Amino acid sequence: MSDDLRALFLRHVCQTSDDPMGLVVRDARGATIRDAAGREYLDLLAGMGVANVGHAHPEVVAAVRAQADRHLHVMVYGEFVQESQTLLATRLAGLLPPSLSTVYFTSSGAEAVDGALKTARKATGRPRFVAFEGGFHGDTWGALSVGGNRVYRRPFEPLLPEVAFLPFDDVAALAAIDERTAAVIVEPVQAEGGVRIPRPEFLGAVRRRCDDVGALLVFDEVVTGFGRTGRVFAHQHHRVVPDLLVLAKALGGGLPLGAFIGAPALMATLRRDPPLAHVTTFGGHPLSCAAGLAALEVLLRDRLAERADALGAHLRLRLGALVGRGGLVEVRGLGLLVGLEFGDAASCARFAQRGRDQRLILNWTLHRDTVVRLAPPLVLSDDEAAQAVARIATALG
Average pLDDT, integer, range 150-167? 95
User: Rounded to 5 degrees, what are φ and ψ at 131?
Assistant: -135, -175
**The pLDDT of residue 84:** 98
Residue 207 pLDDT class (50, 70, 90 cuts): very high
| pLDDT at residue 373 is higher than 90 | yes
Task: Give the C-alpha separation, 188 to 160, whole Å.
Answer: 23
Inter-residue contact 227 to 237 (CB < 8 Å):
no
Which pLDDT score, from 0 to 100, does residue 336 have?
98
pLDDT confidence tier of residue 21, bands split at 50, 70 and 90: confident
Euclidean distance between CA atoms 99 and 241, whole angstroms: 8
Q: What is the largest CA-CA distance in the chain?
A: 62
Please, what are the domains in the chain? Answer: 2-53+303-396 (3.90.1150.10), 59-301 (3.40.640.10)
How many whole angstroms separate alpha carbon 386 and alpha carbon 291? Answer: 30
Mean pLDDT computed over 112-129: 98
263-278: per-residue pLDDT in tens?
999 999 999 999 888 9
Q: What is the pLDDT of residue 20?
A: 85
pLDDT > 90: what percent of the chain?
92
Cβ(199)–Cβ(226) below 8 Å: no
pLDDT in tens, 277-332: 899 999 999 999 999 999 999 999 999 999 999 999 999 999 999 999 999 999 99
pLDDT at 171 over 80: yes
Span 22-63, pLDDT tens digits: 889 999 999 999 999 999 999 999 999 999 999 999 999 999
Average pLDDT, the chain: 96
Q: Is the pLDDT assigned to residue 357 strictly greater than 80?
A: yes
- pLDDT value of residue 3: 79
pLDDT of residue 1: 67
Residue 107 CB contacts under 8 Å (≥ 6 apart), including other chains:
256, 257, 258, 280, 282, 283, 285, 288
